[in-house]
Amino acid sequence: MSKHAEPRFDDLIHAPLRLRICASLAPVQWAEFAHLKENLNVADSVLSKHLKQLTDAGYVEVERFAKLGRSHVRLCLSKEGRRAYVGHLAALRKITEGE
C-alpha cells in the first residue's frame, strides 16, 4: 500500500464501521465474511449493509465459494477501494497534522 497517495476525504469510507472494514481488508489479500464479522464484533445484517455500500461503490469485491459442502464468502479491497482508502488516510493525516 502506497504511503504517498493523493489526499482525498471519502465520506463513504469515513463512516466508522466502513473505515474499520477497509482497515481490516487493507493488509490482506482476502478475508472471509465470518472472520471479518467476528473481528468487528457486528451482526451479519450490519456487516452486510455496509459491505453492500462498499461493493456498490466498487471499493470491495465479493467472491462466493463452497468448501467442504458449505458456502463461504470472501472479500477484498478492489484497486479502486485501496486507492480510496489510502487517499482517505492521507486526508485524515493532513487534517490532523494541520496542513
What is the band of 3 on the pLDDT scale with cuts at 50, 70, 90? low
Over the stretch 5-25, which tens digit does the pLDDT of each residue have? 789 999 999 999 999 999 999
- Answer yes or no: pTM beyond 0.95: no
Q: Write out the CATH class of domain 29-96.
A: mainly alpha
Give the domain ranges of the chain.
29-96
pLDDT at 5: 72
Over the stretch 48-85, which tens digit does the pLDDT of each residue have? 999 999 999 999 999 999 988 889 999 999 999 999 99
Distance CA 71, CA 4 (A): 38
SS3 string, the chain, reads CCCCCCCCCCHHHHCHHHHHHHHHHCCCCCEEHHHHHHHHCCCHHHHHHHHHHHHHCCCEEEEEEEECCEEEEEEEECHHHHHHHHHHHHHHHHHHCCC
pLDDT at 67: 86
